[in-house]
Structure 1
Amino acid sequence: MSLRQFLDSKVAPHFHDGGKLQKYYVFYEMFDTMLYSPSSVTNTASHVRDGIDLKRVMMTVWFAAMPALLFGMFNVGYQANLQITDFGYQPIEGWRTAIVAALTGFDHSSLFANLLHGAVYYIPIMIVVYIGGFIWEGLFAWKRGHEVNEGFFVTGILFTLILPPSIPLWQVFLGISFGVVVGKEVFGGTGKNFLNPALVGRAFLYFAYPAQMSG
């Protein structure tokens, strides 16, 4: 039995009308559309019919941001390793430094060492952003009775790319929460907001915690 068949036969019935988990359908639908194309499509003549939908547009933008993401991780690691090895700066104490020291060291001439050093800062930020964002997206979708929109995939990656790497993770959660709620959901969600949620969250952090945001 494939994963698609398992979801359709064993999992989905519990979330549809009459199922014991029907009130949580929006959360199931969110993860289902991450894996597969949406089951509902436009088939009337009054709409433009094309092979692309909102999900594909958002995923295209998400993948287009990958080069910037990878170079950003590399550059953070390279600049940090360069300062440590060539200029005698001490690395920031904590679990991130322990991981880098144990696995690769601080060799700025090593591609993997630079990527790893950047990743131990970037990946936790990205995880917190997506957890926080999907919590709010899911809560608003659940309350309003509609599906979770894929637009947060783009908001999440853009927000992580404009944050300083050493920002505390609790500030990351506050920032994305403010951006999603105040910059997007209070206006009705995707397509109705006139503000960019990622920049709203960044602006909130800049004025609320200037020491961490401006260096």
Structure 2
Amino acid sequence: MARLRRFLDRIEPQFQKGGPYEKYFALYEMVDTFIYSPADVTRGSPHVRDAIDLKRVMSYVVVATFPVLLLMLWNTGFQANNAISQMGMTGLDGWRNWIMSTLGIAYDPNSLFANMFHGLLYFLPMYITTLVAGGIFEVIFAAVRNHEVNEGFLVSSMLYTLTLPPSTPLWMVALGIIFGVVLGKEVFGGTGKNFLNPALTGRAFLYFAYPAAMSGDAVWTAVDGYTGATPLALAASGGIEAVKEAGYSWSQTFFGMMPGSLGETSTLAILIGAAFLIYTRVANFRIILGVFLGMVATSLLFNLIGSDTNPMFSVPWYWHLTMGGLAFGMVFMATDPVSAAMTNKGRWIYGALIGFMAVMIRVVNPAFPEGIMLAILFGNIFAPLIDYFVVQANIKRRMKRT
């Protein structure tokens, strides 16, 4: 590390103003500040409400995803190995099978290592593709604007990858993150100026552009020819009874032993990440509780109303929490400090609106059993308006007092 420090110090003048590589200064700064804390850090508070720097904020979010990553690797491999076992297959075709057979790793759903290694062979190419494709456009925009390439993309790339089904083609992964980075963030000025969550913007684009690859029973398990509905899809067609008949208990959906998008399956791992984010004050607890309370209240209302034709009316709130991506969106997406509401009272309203909309879309919309993605994007759009009315209400109260 000391040798790398000396090397960076030696080549820095080449990138400074007047140097031969002046236009690549933003790229140099990205490498330098990502590895080391710069000597010219701000002495005051670079943010309005906190003195914490952007590097540490983004690093904390990535650290909070570690429990989700570990459970994701195991569950992705387990679902694939279990499908191979059920279909009576001995293996798969392609480069993954070559690596597994070369290393002598069997497709054993009972082996922790085999499951995690097989899951890694699906996650790693998708994440590398996301980093390369999105990173290229981040660097291009930073170079054109002479801005710094900050660590915000690391968070967006991680969260974006975790929202995808494990069978997503790599070209589609690249297309989605490019759309999210360019049209979800950079066209509005870059980090801190976007009003939509970039990761969700890319995910939403893929869903509406390529619905067959983002939904249905064949995309959640990374084995060609194998179909298996998620518990949420089963609930949409037959209620909780259909979920239980398929062999899923509530504890399975809570711990993450079910098919689904890469990072959404384990509510336990997500809640561990939530505790870390709240403890470090990176995520605001008002938004998380607001989404949760909005979801619970709306679920109870639909349970009270009931329906003879729509089984989703009877789904309890604790099943809504563990099925689909509600918990993941509530903790990692809705709490985005840029696209969320900024006032404390606005955060409660913003969170409750997302929880309400998520259940509304799940229950009332028959064509879209998952609702948290659209609910958060809907909340992002209304967040500035919510803050505006909260501020105006405060001004009126103060004027009356004086």
Q: TM-score under structure 1 normalisation?
A: 0.92
**TM-aligned CA deviation for residue 46 of structure 1:** 9.6
| Equivalent pair of 1:129/1:176 in contact (CA under 8 Å) | yes
> In percent, how many aligned pairs have the same letter?
57
Given the superposition, is the C-alpha separation of residues 84 and 146 from structure 1 closer, same or farther in structure 2, using an over 3 Å criterion? same
Given the superposition, is the C-alpha separation of residues 129 and 118 from structure 1 closer, same or farther in structure 2, using an over 3 Å criterion? same
**TM-aligned CA deviation for residue 44 of structure 1:** 5.3
| Residue of structure 1 equivalent to 2:156 | 155
Q: How far apart are the structure 1 equivalents of 2:135 and 2:83?
A: 36
| Residue of structure 2 equivalent to 1:17 | 17
Equivalent residue letter for 2:169: P
Given the superposition, is the C-alpha separation of residues 129 and 87 from structure 1 closer, same or farther in structure 2, using an over 3 Å criterion? same
| Equivalent pair of 2:45/2:51 in contact (CA under 8 Å) | no
Equivalent residue letter for 2:54: L
Q: How far apart are the structure 1 equivalents of 2:60 and 2:188?
A: 25
Equivalent residue letter for 1:88: G
Q: How far apart are the structure 2 equivalents of 1:141 and 1:45?
A: 24
Q: How far apart are the structure 2 equivalents of 1:40 and 1:208?
A: 45
Q: Give SS of 1:2's match.
A: helix
Q: How far apart are the structure 2 equivalents of 1:13 and 1:211?
A: 51
Equivalent residue letter for 1:106: Y
| Residue of structure 2 equivalent to 1:145 | 146
| Residue of structure 2 equivalent to 1:129 | 130
Q: What is the number of residues matched between the two proteins? A: 214
**TM-aligned CA deviation for residue 72 of structure 1:** 0.5
| Equivalent pair of 1:179/1:201 in contact (CA under 8 Å) | yes
Matches within 5 A, 1:190-209: 190-209=191-210
Unpaired runs of at least 5, structure 1: none
| Residue of structure 1 equivalent to 2:71 | 71
Given the superposition, is the C-alpha separation of residues 51 and 25 from structure 1 closer, same or farther in structure 2, using an over 3 Å criterion? same
For the pair shown, which has the larger CA radius of gyration, 1 or 2? 2
Q: How far apart are the structure 1 equivalents of 2:99 and 2:45?
A: 57
| Residue of structure 2 equivalent to 1:54 | 54
| Equivalent pair of 1:42/1:49 in contact (CA under 8 Å) | no
Q: How far apart are the structure 2 equivalents of 1:84 and 1:98?
A: 16
Q: How far apart are the structure 2 equivalents of 1:15 and 1:212?
A: 44
Given the superposition, is the C-alpha separation of residues 161 and 46 from structure 1 closer, same or farther in structure 2, using an over 3 Å criterion? closer
Greater relative CO, 1 or 2 (CA 8 Å, sep 6+): 1
| Equivalent pair of 1:76/1:114 in contact (CA under 8 Å) | yes
- Two-structure CA RMSD over aligned residues (Å): 2.1
| Equivalent pair of 2:77/2:117 in contact (CA under 8 Å) | yes
Q: How far apart are the structure 1 equivalents of 2:168 and 2:53?
A: 35
1:28 aligns with 2:21: no
**TM-aligned CA deviation for residue 88 of structure 1:** 2.2
Unpaired runs of at least 5, structure 2: 220-402
Q: How far apart are the structure 1 equivalents of 2:22 and 2:118?
A: 43
